[in-house]
Amino acid sequence: MGSIGPETDAQAQEIAVIGAGFSGIYELHKLKDAGFKVRLYEAGEGVGGIWYWNCYPGARVDTPVPTYQLTSDDTWTDWNWSQRFPDYSELRTYFQHLVKVWGLEDLITFNTRIESMKWDDQAHHWDLEMRTNGTVQTKSAPAVVVCTGFGSKPYIPPWKGLDTFKGNLLHTGLWPQGGVPLDGKRVAIIGTGASGVQLIQETAKVAKHLTVFQRTPNTALPMSNPQYDKAKNDVWKKSYAETKQMMLTTFAGFDYEFRKENANISTPEVRAAFYKTLLESGGLHFWLGTYQDVLFDEEANAEAYEYWRQSVIKRIKDTRNQEILAPKVAPHPFGTKRISLERQYFEVFNQDNVDLVDLVENNISEITETGIQTKDGVLHEVDVIVAATGFDSVTGGITAIDIRGTDPKQSIKDRWSQGCYTLFGLTTSGFPNMFMMYGPQAPTAFATGPSSAECQGEWITACLEHMRDQHITKIDATKEAEKDWRDHTLEMGGKGLFPKAKGWYYGDNIPGKPREALNYMAGLPLYREKIWESANNGYRGFELTA
């Protein structure tokens, strides 16, 4: 019988946590603190999760600090940020700080990728097969917390001829740790999501020539990234207790919220003044601090888009580029695809060394030995091709592992092939004692990483403590409860203008992936209420076995 025992129990096996991003590190700390034997496995060489893998030039977070940090007092009092939106290297240093203050050094095994997990329904434990620098070994764990993140499975479209390219082919999410020289090179970047926008800005500064291949324009907002000195850090620290309280009440865990009025409550002049303030605030205010109906009402949305468009086109000299980057007809309702933050992004296209290809008019026909051929017959010869083409988001990090639960014939990938089933995005029926963080049917992409980690991590830790105290060795979601959660998630995800946009929020970016709301889009406060309602009622919706 597997045993979710205390650290002092010599028979107890280590609980396994997979992935060293915000969720994994937080959960490792919580379980250690609660007295469990626990070990974290990380495929990379260092901590940071998304900030370990996404180390392309310009990679930086678009949630401002101190919102983008864990809130426990031992982690922030001695920590100072150098800027409002830290880059990946500062975030890595922050993760090292977390490991140090929480004493996690000896509990992490790096360079180790979990390849498969098989549930043993007699022993009530998981057998994990893992590869460390080419060596495969198996370990048993009474419970597993999968923290592989929402964007850990990079996606490169299957362009014809891709493997014939003789230059350097890269993906933003698998950027070489030592960096790649782009100075003086001819570079192609395909994709203009958050990663593309950031990389384009940096590459344009150093490349001999940059060709950007855009399918959908990015309605990016100005970042505004002031430096933070000691005095500025002292300011946020003074009011951080109140900030933390506020973050518990807001939709996404930010320290501001949608305005509780519809747009038409104001005159056009007042609205314009309000939009101006939002844009000048920088960050995501124009998206998440706007009138409450902008993401629901077409008229309000169209006006917001037009305001954004006017603010952008005056920064682009060429009228053709204006129309490609900020078209008169919105490509989708404003804000229904993930908004990115930019710094001089639109000015990049005024540079002589930068070209823009509109893939809607002129798609890629094939990749050749020397570059990218478009439908019009032009061959764009380059030294480097960067696929900034995103990820098999939300589910891909989990389904990349061959996970088999009570039915050994069915992997989790098969189980979700026609649609995702989870209870609270925390567990999935038939895969007992397996918990997920920052995965499907949870707030994930609609919440900040740290807020989500704390919300789910506290619940999972409490659940495992309950199992330990009550000598429960198996917890599994019921099919009925799971169906209810799925229905609720899909209902919430069907609201407003969001479903009108095609993108990774709904799995549209991966061929063959079922179209459905992958995230819980009703906000963190309601999510928190629902998961604790179950826990406080004897884990309603779960079957517990001694």
Q: Which residues bind ligand N01 (CB under 6 A)?
A: 54, 60-62, 151, 157, 172, 190-196, 198, 215-216, 338, 359, 388-390, 445, 503-504, 509
Q: How many CA atoms lie within 13 A of 227 on its CB side?
A: 2
Compare residues 107 and 200 and give the one whose CB is closer to ligand N01.
200
Report DSSP letters for 111-174, one per residue.
SEEEEEEEEETTTTEEEEEEEETTEEEEEEES-EEE---SS-SB-----TTGGG--SEEEEGGG
What does the alpha-carbon distance between residue 333 and residue 331 come to, in Å, rounded to a whole number?
A: 7
Task: Provide, rounded to whole angstroms, the least separation between the CB of residue 7 and ligand N01.
Answer: 36
Task: Please report, as a single letter, which amino acid is at residue 304.
Answer: A
Task: Provide, rounded to whole angstroms, the least separation between the CB of residue 509 and ligand N01.
Answer: 5
Task: Provide, rounded to whole angstroms, the least separation between the CB of residue 262 and ligand N01.
Answer: 27
Compare residues 36 and 155 and give the one whose CB is closer to ligand N01.
155
Task: Provide, rounded to whole angstroms, the least separation between the CB of residue 65 and ligand N01.
Answer: 12
Give 203-210's long-range contacts (Cβ < 8 A, gap of 24+): 203/57, 203/386, 204/348, 204/351, 204/353, 204/354, 206/182, 207/182, 207/183, 207/353, 208/184, 208/353, 209/353, 209/354, 209/355, 209/382, 210/348, 210/353, 210/354, 210/355
Instruction: Tell me the CA distances in angstroms from 352 to 145, 349, 369, one per residue in order.
Output: 50, 8, 25
Compare residues 215 and 488 and give the one whose CB is closer to ligand N01.
215
Compare residues 194 and 330 and give the one whose CB is closer to ligand N01.
194
Q: Which of 497, 495, 493 minimizes the C-alpha distance to 506?
A: 493
Task: Provide, rounded to whole angstroms, the least separation between the CB of residue 283 and ligand N01.
Answer: 11
Compare residues 101 and 156 and give the one whose CB is closer to ligand N01.
156
Task: Provide, rounded to whole angstroms, the least separation between the CB of residue 370 and ligand N01.
Answer: 19
Report DSSP letters for 262-328, one per residue.
-GGGS-HHHHHHHHHHHHHH-TTHHHHSSBTTTTT-HHHHHHHHHHHHHHHHTT---HHHHHHHS-S
Compare residues 338 and 468 and give the one whose CB is closer to ligand N01.
338
Longest dimension (CA), the chain: 71
What does the alpha-carbon distance between residue 387 and residue 487 come to, in Å, rounded to a whole number?
A: 35
Residue appearing with tokens 């009925």? 480
Task: Provide, rounded to whole angstroms, the least separation between the CB of residue 263 and ligand N01.
Answer: 25
Compare residues 359 and 544 and give the one whose CB is closer to ligand N01.
359
What does the alpha-carbon distance between residue 119 and residue 26 come to, in Å, rounded to a whole number?
A: 25
Task: Provide, rounded to whole angstroms, the least separation between the CB of residue 56 and ligand N01.
Answer: 9
Give 129-135's long-range contacts (Cβ < 8 A, gap of 24+): 130/41
Cα radius of gyration (the chain): 24
Compare residues 191 and 440 and give the one whose CB is closer to ligand N01.
191
The backbone region for 184, taken as left when phi is positive above 0, alpha when psi lies in -120 to 50, beta otherwise, is: left
Task: Provide, rounded to whole angstroms, the least separation between the CB of residue 104 and ligand N01.
Answer: 24
Task: Provide, rounded to whole angstroms, the least separation between the CB of residue 62 and ligand N01.
Answer: 4
Compare residues 15 and 357 and give the one whose CB is closer to ligand N01.
357
Compare residues 283 and 430 and give the one whose CB is closer to ligand N01.
283
Residue appearing with tokens 């990090």? 397
Compare residues 197 and 278 and give the one whose CB is closer to ligand N01.
197
Task: Provide, rounded to whole angstroms, the least separation between the CB of residue 486 and ligand N01.
Answer: 23
**Which residue of the chain is nearest ligand N01 when measured via CB?**
193
Task: Provide, rounded to whole angstroms, the least separation between the CB of residue 445 and ligand N01.
Answer: 6
Contacts of 20 (CB under 8 A, 6+ apart): 40, 42, 44, 46, 47, 48, 49, 52, 95, 108, 110, 147
Compare residues 338 and 486 and give the one whose CB is closer to ligand N01.
338
What does the alpha-carbon distance between residue 397 and residue 326 come to, in Å, rounded to a whole number?
A: 33
